[in-house]
A = this chain, B = another copy of it.
Amino acid sequence: MAGDLYLGYRGDDVNTPYGKFFNPEMASLPEHVVEALEHGPQGGMALLAYEDAGSMADEGYQQTENGYGVLEDGSYQVSVRTDMPGVTPSMWSWWFGWHGSDTRRYKLWHPRAHLSAAWKDGDEAGRRGSDRYVGRWSLITEYIGSNRLNGAIQFVAPGQLGCPPDGDDAVAICARLGSSDGPVDVGWFIHHVRSTPEGAEMRSRFWMGGPHIAVRKAPDVASKAVRPIAERVLGNPETNARNLLVHCAQEMNHLAGFLPELYQNFGDE
């Protein structure tokens, strides 16, 4: 988070081998995302429970592939699908490792919302594939809607959320989501990417707030004291769930549009 935060590229930012992929214009939302927004919040029982996260690896689709809701425990859940012709699951493993070391890479993903990214450790030596992000902390600053947050994304192995190990046909990018302002975690996410005849589809799931708020590395400590820090990341449940759905749909669709070409050029980095 050192230095000025600003949206998009300035000055010399574009002077990288990948700078030409920065595109400030983002496409319209896919129709299935627009419909999910029209429908608004869903009943908790229509949404995937955190305890069933591992079912993301099952074949077929779930009751709510696109939608969000505020649950009775105060948490909120968000689900959204991204269709990605020409993309493979392994491109996303590469992306999650490759982007995190440089704000200019991170900004390719969501030019209207991403401000800063850095690994908590600076050590890039010898890492490849999912080993490049699993077990590491990505410290990011971004907007979700109008809410600016300083997040700590702690990537975990798929098995921690009940998913099988990554393979050629499917990968599960899983993480604990927290604040980088204090030792507070607030949620979990999975981006499950699997092959389709046209390329791949990403099915994203977020569980935020409520019972997912915990003092980092002290899960039994009461969450009340840390709630103000948590709320800086979580925002207002009723609006942030919606905004998170939009944000995720935007960034995943945007990147998917040039990920194959990006991977072709930099996939061996």
| Contact, CB under 8 Å: B246 / A38 | yes
- A17 at the A/B interface (Cβ < 8 Å)? no
Inter-chain contact A28/B37, CB cutoff 8 Å: no
Q: Which residue of B lies closest to A24 (CB)?
A: B63
Q: Which of B34, B143, B242 contacts A43 (CB 8 A)?
A: B143
The oligomer's copy count stands at 2
Chain B, residue nearest A71 (CB): B146
CB of A42 closer than 8 Å to a CB of B: yes
Provide the residues of chain B in CB contact with A39, threshold 8 Å.
29, 246, 250
CB pair B40–A243 under 8 Å, yes or no, is: yes
Interface 0/1 of A68-101, CB less than 8 Å to B: 0111100000000000000000000000000000
The residue on B at minimum CB distance from A46 is B112
Closest 5 CB pairs of A and B: A43-B143, A41-B146, A41-B145, A69-B146, A70-B146
A residues neighboring B (CB under 8 Å) = 5-8, 24, 28-29, 34-35, 37-46, 63, 69-72, 112-113, 115, 143, 145-146, 148, 236, 238-239, 242-243, 246, 250
